[in-house]
Chains A and B, each alone.
Chain A
Amino acid sequence: MTISYNRIVRVGAIAAISTLLLAACSANTDAPETTSGPAAESVTIADAWVKAADDGMSAAFGELHNSGADDVTVVSATTDAADMIELHETVENEAGAMVMREIEGGFVIPASGALVLEPGADHIMLMGLTGAMAAGQEISFTLTFSDDSTYEFTAPVKDYAGANESYEDDMDHAAETDAE
């Protein structure tokens, strides 16, 4: 059981209820779309930001919203600011510590719901920064969904003392980032 899992489910459930209520209040409710367009067309990000870093690693956060009738899955992300990006989840390991690791199958944003990317939970991990990311800069990202559609957004860099989660396997990643 993880905090982030609960958070996602709860957010999704409340958002879904809100949507139902809105739908019920609407006088002219058309039948819900049965055929969905590309995933990218139903996804937006709100309150995106990136943790400032001089070099090495960092992470991006925000709230991904899916206005579509189907779940969508983010399978990868890219940015010019880093050589490598992984989609990470934060889970409790066998020792009871919260550790982050690459999420299997990508980020699922529930239909008519949201996925919160935040320190200590799911986040977009940047490795091998191509330069210093200083507060106030804007960093561009491209998300790719499971249907190969893509969504671009920018996020401001902010100084932030948190988001210092350790890896499930520190050695592997240390070797990886050093190699970049």
Chain B
Amino acid sequence: MAASRNGQSPGVFRANRRHFLLGGAIAGIGATTAVAADYALGSSRPPEQNPAPTPLNGSNTVPFYGEHQAGIDTDAQAYATVLALDIRDGVDRDGLRRMMLILTDDAARLTQGQSALADAEPELAVAPARLTVTFGFGPHFVEIAQAEAPGWLRPLPSFGVDRLEPAFSDGDLLIQIAADDPLTIAHTARMLLKDARSFTTVRWTQSGFRRAHGSVKAGTTMRNLFGQVDGTSNPVPGTDGFDRVVWNTDGWLAGGTSVVVRRISMDLDKWDRLDRGGKEQSVGRYLSNGAPLTSSSVGEAAEFDEPDFAATSRAGFPVIPEFSHIARARSDREGERIFRRAYNYDDRPADDAISNSGLLFISFQADVDAQFVPIQDRLDQLDLLNEWTIPIGSAVFAVPPGCLDGGYVGETILG
């Protein structure tokens, strides 16, 4: 199940019955015309050379049901919108159960390219473009559900570098919506928010982007708005290492995980004043290909070379400075690893600034306190990148396991 969500194994768009009944005739005409045209063109060349029609990326789906929720080990889609909702006063455990039933049904349909029940714009559901919807529960949600919260389910300890704004922090219910099509995301967010409205209010929404689908080779490590290759050392979905880093095995969270969502403001103007060598030293990687400074700045493969933190320059200084981001983030302890799935943001600048940009940092890990906090502690104490970045939002959620057809996300604490 998990494997089928990875890499390039998209499902096939399945029209629901209504689409078939009402759209079938029109689609049929289109298909006939296309076949006829193909036949005409094909008559001038051997039939075996007819290229298979390129499937539309918009038709690709990621399975919704499974042991784990989708949108975690799924190859990151081009766009994401993350919603944090607060539970309305008076909503009880049964209210949360009813809400998760409805939201699960919406997500199960929309991710497969089918309109939600009572969807006011069903035509917007027909291009899922690898849509995933991932739910996370904040401390207050778990409290109302009368379940035992893991010890790490609370705001992160405050770090010296933080300048957190309530407008981008905390929340009771997280919904991460990701797809290769921003229109699909907008429709999905609208549908889910309409169905959550009688139970919740919107606390914050954040949207982010990577390269558009098809712009670069699938699987290319993302670049952030500093131009850096960002996420090279991530564990690889489908491996034992990934499973150990990400999936929780305890109680109602077995098959689930935790997510940390942080809004990292990036000072592009200050970054511009740094020369290229300085930029590369701050991270410890080449800007050209993301390779560690102890490797080669040429060639794609070098990106994944292991950094050699012991290597020194002729003057005797470490090639990868001790204060660089990768030197500080790196841990020898296997347990202190996380899986990053970040997006860039580029919003309206305030006052006479020309940029309001940064990183919508999203990481998944089985245990926030054991895995995330030690890394952030080290970065907080010393990380040259802190000169150009400021965390301005932070939230932690427990991500419950996935569900099977007929079940719902959250059933392990609400059922």
Contact = CB atoms under 8 A, between A and B. Distances in A.
Interface of A: 10-11, 14-15, 18, 46-47, 49, 51-52, 61, 63, 65, 114, 116, 134-137, 156, 158-162
Interface residues of B, number: 23
A134 B198 contact: yes
Contacts of B95: 134, 136
Nearest to B98: A136
A162 B98 contact: no
Contacts of B120: 160-162
B2 interface: no
Contacts of A65: 17
Contacts of A11: 21-22
B102 A158 contact: yes
26 contacts: A11-B21, A14-B21, A14-B24, A18-B20, A18-B24, A46-B17, A47-B16, A47-B117, A63-B17, A114-B17, A114-B21, A116-B18, A135-B98, A135-B99, A135-B102, A135-B195, A136-B95, A136-B98, A137-B98, A156-B102, A156-B105, A158-B195, A159-B118, A160-B118, A161-B120, A161-B194
Closest 7 CB pairs of A and B: A136-B98, A158-B118, A49-B117, A160-B118, A136-B102, A136-B101, A11-B21
B25 interface: yes
Given A114-B21, A134-B98, A159-B198, 20 more contacts: A11-B22, A14-B22, A18-B20, A49-B117, A63-B18, A65-B17, A116-B18, A134-B95, A134-B198, A135-B102, A135-B195, A135-B199, A136-B97, A136-B99, A136-B102, A158-B102, A158-B118, A158-B195, A161-B120, A162-B120
Interface string B7-30: 000000000111011101100000
Interface string B88-129: 000000010111011001000000000001101000000000
B21 A15 contact: yes
Nearest to B109: A47
B21 to A, nearest CB: 5
B197 interface: yes
A136 B104 CA distance: 11
Nearest to A136: B98
Nearest to B199: A135
A137 B118 CA distance: 15
Contacts of A51: 118
Of the candidates B20, B22, B102, the one having the most CB atoms from chain A within 10 angstroms of its own CB is B102
Contacts of A158: 102, 117-118, 195
Contacts of B18: 47, 63, 116
B120 to A, nearest CB: 7
Contacts of A18: 20, 24
Contacts of B16: 47
Interface string B202-224: 00000000000000000000000
B366 to A, nearest CB: 30
Contacts of B99: 135-136
Contacts of A47: 16-18, 117
Contacts of A10: 22
Given A11-B22, A14-B24, A15-B21, A159 B98 contact: no
Nearest to A116: B18
B199 to A, nearest CB: 7
A109 to B, nearest CB: 13
Contacts of A135: 98-99, 102, 195, 198-199
A149 B96 CA distance: 37
B16 to A, nearest CB: 8
Contacts of B102: 135-136, 156, 158
Of the candidates B17, B21, B97, B118, the one having the most CB atoms from chain A within 10 angstroms of its own CB is B118
A156 B198 contact: no
Nearest to B408: A136
A159 B105 contact: no
A134 B198 CA distance: 9
Interface in B167-207: 194-195, 197-199
Contacts of A159: 118, 194-195, 197-198
Contacts of A156: 101-102, 105, 117
A158 B106 CA distance: 11
Contacts of B97: 136
A63 B117 CA distance: 11
Contacts of B21: 11, 14-15, 114
A18 B27 CA distance: 13
B405 to A, nearest CB: 15
Interface string B289-311: 00000000000000000000000
Contacts of B24: 14, 18
